[in-house]
Each structure stands twice: as C-alpha cells, then as structure tokens.
C-alpha cells in the first residue's frame, strides 16, 4: 500500500485544463527548440570596431571598456588576420589621434598619411579579403571633440560636409571598402557619393549612420578616442533627440535618396524599435551599433557577478537579429565569433 494518497483522476491529468493550445510543447527539448528557432546569429552578422593608436608596437587598455584595447597598426593587422580567420566580414577603424595633432578644423583628417589611412593600407595589404569600414567624422581630429567645424558655439553644416567629402576620398584612396559617415550633418551622404564617384570610387559603399542619437551611451568610446575630456558642450544640434522615432524614418529616407547603400541605427538595444521600423519600412541592409556604453554595462554587471556576461552578450546580439538587423557593430565580435566556431 502506497504511503502516498492516490491523486484523484482530476489531479492526475495535467491536461485537465483541456487546452487546445500549449505553446510550451515546442519548447520541450533542445532539438525541438532548435527546430522552431526563428533567428540565428552567425559570424557573418558581425562588424568589429577597432581602435588604432600611434606607436611601433603594443596595445593600450581602454579603462571603461574591459577587454578592449587601442592597437598599434602592427597589432591591428594581426587582429584583422584573426577577424578574417574567424569569418568576420568587416572591421571598422577608429583612430586615437595624438592630441598635438588636433585643431579646431580637424585638419589631420585631410592628411593622407594619418593614422587611419596608414592602418587601412597595412590591413588591406595583409588581409585583402577583409572588409574595411572607415568612420567619416571630424571628432577624432578636432580640439573641441565635435564632429564638425565651429563658428562660436555653432557647428557649421555645409563647411563640414565639404571636409567630410575630402576625408572620405582619402580613406577610399587608402583602400577603405565602406565609408561610414557618423557625423550627422545634413547632405553629407550625397556629397560623399558625388566626391567618391568623381574620383572613380563607384564601388566604395556608403553605410550611413542615418539615425544616430545624442546618447549617453557613447561615453566609453570618447575615452577610447580621447575626446571625453575635451568635448565642449554636447552634440544635440546634430545628433538626434532620443525622444524621436518618425524623425529617424525621415533621416533614413534622405540618406537612401542621397545614395546610401546601407543604413545604421545607433545606439543599439535601446533603439531596437527604430531598427525594426527601418527594416520594415525600407527593406534595405540595416545595421545596428551596440555602442561602447552598452558593452561597458554588460561587462561591468558581469564583473560584479550580477549577470552571466556570455549569455547577456549572446542574447543581446540575437535580439538585434530578431528586430531585423542584418548585422551588428559590436566590440564583442571576436569573442562571439570564437564562441560560434566552437559551437559549430
Ligand atoms: C564619432 C562616433 C561616435 C561613435 C562612433 N563614431 C561617438 C560620438 O558620436 O560622440 C560612438 C561609438 C560607441 O560609443 O561605441 N562620430
């Protein structure tokens, strides 16, 4: 005789709710979850942003971005080789410009032998099969840390665009495959397209930071390129108001009309609604930038043992895919690609 009371027939049958729909059925085992999975992250989805610094050799840790380092060109070439071997399609290069070379108009941006142009040449020579993306903006080169030239407190649009178009041509001459204007000046995509075409760079793509918000999440990046201490004021007269979504659609439309080949939304996770709307509305290649602050938050919480950093990394990147992104710029790129490789 059982020491346990016999359940009544009602209690014995878990189906007693008589449900015809039980979504949990498809989740009952790993094989079934794999079978019904709607989105996957692969190495093909990753773009790796890399910080470049002057120097014969070596690496400098970025304090607010644990695991991220500024790389000298030699180290960057090594990491570019690693990126290619991990099947990461492209890297995006960002220079830490020697403060002595920064001035109010960012004139170092027009030096064909500046840090970024030399890095592009070296990486292209060593790893021709890897895509190279160059950011177009003046902020790594200006003494005030803004993305444009200033008249008093104003950021001048048209004067800045003229400089950006020349900067883009120099980067293309160095071997950049994709030009990514991140400055948020009006009309820069069209001007860059015209300038590239005039110089015979019809095949150089433009990935427009079309919907780029004036965000608090860029803080660690500004440490990495050395603009956080010098930035005068904020970027709200050119980067978008985080309150706006319809305006993002207009920005994307204009950039597409001006000839953008791909669209980027930035920051990433807090703006997944924008990523989704852009993809639904325009059905063009759409990218999201998981920016420095997003990376730092995951790293900091993980370092405190408050979240599982690896899982948060994978989940956040998958969320971009679910929202409709074709790819993600992420500082996690090499770590994710390694992980995806071992997972098969
Ligand atoms: C500069 C630029 C920024 C980022 C990419 N390009 C910073 C800014 O606009 O101040 C941010 C990237 C990141 O936070 O990871 N035009």
Residue 89: which of 41, 128, 131, 134 has the closest Cα?
Answer: 131
Cα separation of 4 and 336, whole Å? 50
Measured in Å, residue 25 CA sits from the centre of ligand 1 at 44
pLDDT tens, 181-219? 999 999 999 999 999 999 999 999 999 999 999 999 999
Mean pLDDT for all residues in the chain: 95
Lowest mean pLDDT among 6-20, 106-120, 138-152, 166-180: 6-20
86 CB neighbour count, 10 Å cutoff: 18
Overall average pLDDT of the 32-38 stretch? 98
pLDDT tens, 117-147? 999 999 999 999 999 999 999 999 999 999 9
Cα separation of 333 and 335, whole Å? 6
Over 80: is that where the pLDDT of 7 sits?
no
Ligand 1, residues 139, 155, 167, 232: which to mutate, most atoms within 8 A of Cβ?
139
Instruction: Tell whether residue 251 is among the known ligand binding residues.
Output: yes
CA 218 to chain centre: 11
Which is the closest atom of ligand 1 to the Cα of 293? 14
Counting residues of the chain whose pLDDT is more than 70, the rounded percentage is 95
Is 321 a catalytic site residue? no
Pick the CATH number of 42-343 from 3.20.20.70, 3.40.50.300, 3.40.50.150, 2.60.40.10: 3.20.20.70
Is 28 a catalytic site residue? no
Residue nearest to atom 8 of ligand 1 (CA): 218
Overall average pLDDT of the 166-171 stretch? 98
Q: What residue ranges line ligand 1, CB within 6 angstroms?
A: 135, 137, 139, 147, 182-183, 218, 221-222, 235, 291-292
ipTM over 0.90: yes
pLDDT of residue 343: 81
Overall average pLDDT of the 104-123 stretch? 98
Ligand 1, residues 291, 293, 295, 296: which to mutate, most atoms within 8 A of Cβ?
291
Residue nearest to atom 11 of ligand 1 (CA): 218
pLDDT of residue 42: 98
pLDDT band of 105, cuts 50, 70, 90: very high
Catalytic pick among 212, 235, 299, 321? 212
In the chain, where the domains are located: 42-343
Lowest mean pLDDT among 9-18, 86-95, 197-206: 9-18
Catalytic pick among 266, 279, 299, 321? 266
Cα separation of 21 and 89, whole Å? 42
pLDDT tens, 280-322? 999 999 999 999 999 999 999 999 999 999 999 999 999 999 9
Say which DSSP state 99 is in: G
pLDDT of residue 2: 60
pLDDT tens, 236-281? 999 999 999 999 999 999 999 999 999 999 999 999 999 999 999 9
Cβ within 8 Å of residue 335, ≥6 positions away:
67, 313
Task: Name all contacts of 21-27 with Cβ < 8 Å and 24+ positions apart.
Answer: none
């Amino acid at each position: 005789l059982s020491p346990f009371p016999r359940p009544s027939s009602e209690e014995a049958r878990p189906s007693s709710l008589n449900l015809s729909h039980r979504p949990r059925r498809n989740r009952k085992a790993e094989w079934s979850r794999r079978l019904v999975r709607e989105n996957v992250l692969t190495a093909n989805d990753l773009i790796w942003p890399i910080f470049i610094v002057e120097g014969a050799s070596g690496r400098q840790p970025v304090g607010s971005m644990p695991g991220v380092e500024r790389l000298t060109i030699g180290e960057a070439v090594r990491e570019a080789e690693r990126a290619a071997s991990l099947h990461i399609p492209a890297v995006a290069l960002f220079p830490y410009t020697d403060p002595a070379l920064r001035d109010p108009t960012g004139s170092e941006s027009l030096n064909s032998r500046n840090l970024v142009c030399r890095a592009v040449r070296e990486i292209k020579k060593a790893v021709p099969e890897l895509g190279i993306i160059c950011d177009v903006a003046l902020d790594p080169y200006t003494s005030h840390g803004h993305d444009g030239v200033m008249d008093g407190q104003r950021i001048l649009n048209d004067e800045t665009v003229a400089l950006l178009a020349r900067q883009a041509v120099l980067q293309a001459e160095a071997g950049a495959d994709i030009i990514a204007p991140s400055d948020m000046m009006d009309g820069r995509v069209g001007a860059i397209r015209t300038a590239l075409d005039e110089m015979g760079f019809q095949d150089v793509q433009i990935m427009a930071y079309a919907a780029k918000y004036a965000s608090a999440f860029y803080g660690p990046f500004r440490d990495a390129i050395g603009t956080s201490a010098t930035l005068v004021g904020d970027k709200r007269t050119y980067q978008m108001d985080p309150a706006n979504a319809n305006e993002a659609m207009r920005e994307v439309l204009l950039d597409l009309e001006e000839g953008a080949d791909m669209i980027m939304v930035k920051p990433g996770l807090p703006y997944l609604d924008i990523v989704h709307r852009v993809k639904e509305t325009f059905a063009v290649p759409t990218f999201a930038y998981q920016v420095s602050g997003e990376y730092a938050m995951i790293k900091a919480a993980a370092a405190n043992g408050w979240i599982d950093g690896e899982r948060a990394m994978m989940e956040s990147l998958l969320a971009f895919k679910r929202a409709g992104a074709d790819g993600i710029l992420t500082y996690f790129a090499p770590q994710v690609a390694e992980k995806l490789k071992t997972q098969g």
